[in-house]
Amino acid sequence: MSAITRDEVAHLARLSRLALGEDELDHLAAQLDQIISAVARVQEVTAEEIPPTSHALPLTNVYRADEVRPSLTPEQALAGAPAAEEQRFRVPRILDEEA
């Protein structure tokens, strides 16, 4: 049984706003299946006494003081934007999804 279905890849592509063609879906579904299967082998060596790990370092409670630091200028902030207008980032509107 495959680790990820073609439909699941199509769903993820939609969530990521990637326009994948039919042949690309076939191609990527097969590749992702291989990648996931390879990574899944890690599960074979997990043991009861090893808790799931989300962070590599045993640190907690790292905070910064509530102090203002200089921001970028709007020119700097917008320098890498593909399009800007009225000192704002100009992006294609995603219809039917009012935030």
Applying CB under 8 A, the residues found at the interface with another protein are: 15-17, 54-55, 57, 59-74, 77-78, 80, 85-99
**C-beta of 41 vs 87, nearer to another protein:** 87
Query: Nearest 5°: CA angle at 4, between 50 and 10?
Result: 130
CB of 64 to another protein, least distance (A): 4
**C-beta of 23 vs 75, nearer to another protein:** 75
Are 28 and 19 within 8 A, CB to CB? no
CB of 3 to another protein, least distance (A): 16
**C-beta of 27 vs 88, nearer to another protein:** 88
Determine which helix (DSSP H) or strand (DSSP E) holds 85, and give its type and residue range: strand 84-85
Rounded Cα distance, 35 and 33, in Å: 6
Cα 6 to chain center, whole Å? Answer: 19
CB of 92 to another protein, least distance (A): 6
